[in-house]
Structure 1
C-alpha cells in the first residue's frame, strides 16, 4: 500500500487529520456506525463518491486500524466492512461536527441527496438524557432504528427495529431537519404534535410525559 500522506506536524489534531481528513472518510464512518456494510451498500448510500475513491478510502481505513473487512459466512459470498473499536470512537467527533454545522444546514437544496438514516445521528443527539433502548423511526423517505445509549455495536440501522422497540417515532423530514438545525428539541416537537410517539417502553413514556 502507498504511504499515508501526513501533515508532518507534532500535534494531535494534525495526526488525527492524517487519518480522517481526506474527503469521504468521515462519511464512510457515518455509514459504518450502522454496523457491517457491503461495498455496494456503501456506494449506494454515498452518492457522489467514485468507486476508485471509495475503494481507496476503505483500504486506508483498514490500514490505519479504523475498520476491518471480512467475508460473510456461507451461503453469503460478499465481504463486509465494519468499524473497529478505534473507529467507533469517532462517533462523538461526528456528533460534534453535526452540532458545529447546524447553522450551515439551511433548507434542502434541489441538488441535495437524502437518505432517511442520515437523520440517525441528529436524533441520537436529541434523545440524549432520555434513557437507553431501541427506537424505531418512520419517515416517508424510509425507516431506520436507533440503539440509544449503545456502548458497543451499531448505533443505528436501516429498516425496522430488530425486535419490539422501546419507542416508535413517526415524523417527517422537515421535522428531522428542524431538529438537525437545532431549531427545536425532540420534546418540543412531540408536544407540538409534529412527532407521534407510540410504545410502552421507558423511552416512549419519557417522551410523552416530558
Structure 2
C-alpha cells in the first residue's frame, strides 16, 4: 500500500532571534523587495499584475513569496473586488500603513544618493511621492494636490491624519491644487523648510488652481525657514 504523502509544512521565516525592537522589525520587513512592495501599496490596493509591472526586476516567485509573508505577518491582506471588477487585490493593514514614516525617512536619507539617472534605472512617477510628502507636511490646508511630472501623474492628500492612503496613482478626480515640476525639483523641495517656497518663487515649480490650498502653496514662503 503506497505511503500517504504528508502535506508540506510552510517554511519558517528566518529570524535574527534577538530580543531587540530593530531586529524584530527586520524579521518582518528586512527581506529584499518587502519595503518596496509596501511603497507600492501605500498608494492603495493593487492587483498582483500591477505590482509586478511597477517593481521591475522582481521575479514572480519572489513577489508571490513576499506577499504571502506580508499576509502572514499582518502587514497586508488579499481581498476580491466586487463585480464587475471581480479581481483580487492586495492592500496594507493598519499595521502595514504604519510603515509610512519609515519609508519617508528612508527616502530622505537616500535622496543624496540620487545623482544623474543611470541608463538602467527604471522610474515611475509615484515613486516621487515619498520625498514630496515632507515638503507638504507643514501645510495648514487639507485637500488633494495633483502632481504632474514628465514621467506621469500622482496625487497627495494633505492633512491626512486618519486611515487611508496619503498618496495615489494617476491624476486626482477633483484636485484642490496642482503642482507641475520635474524630478530634480521634487528632490530639491524634499529637503523641507523653505525649499518649496524657493522653488515656487524661482519658477521651478508651477502651482495651478485658485482655491485656499493653491494659495497657500504659492504663499508658503511665509512659513519660517528650517533651522540649520
1:209 partnered with 2:216: no
Aligned to 2:5: none
CA RMSD in angstroms, aligned pairs only: 1.6
Aligned to 1:143: 153
- Asked if the contact 1:69/1:82 (under 8 Å) is kept, the reply is yes
Match of 1:145, SS state, is: strand
1:84-119 deviations in Å (ceiling 9; x for gaps):
000000000011111111222222111111000101
CA distance in 2, matches of 1:170, 1:205: 15
Aligned to 2:168: 157
1:85 partnered with 2:94: yes
CA distance in 2, matches of 1:192, 1:148: 23
Structure 2: runs of 5 or more not aligned:
1-9, 221-228
**Larger of the two Rg values belongs to structure:** 2
Match of 2:80 among 71, 76, 80: 71
Q: How many aligned residue pairs are there?
A: 209
Structure 1: runs of 5 or more not aligned:
none
1:166-208 deviations in Å (ceiling 9; x for gaps):
21111122322333577x8222111110111011333211111
Aligned to 1:97: 106
CA distance in 1, matches of 2:102, 2:11: 27
Match of 2:106, SS state, is: helix
Structure 1 length-normalised TM: 0.94
Match of 1:37, SS state, is: coil
- Asked if the contact 2:132/2:187 (under 8 Å) is kept, the reply is no
Aligned to 2:207: 197
CA distance in 1, matches of 2:216, 2:130: 20
CA distance in 2, matches of 1:27, 1:110: 21
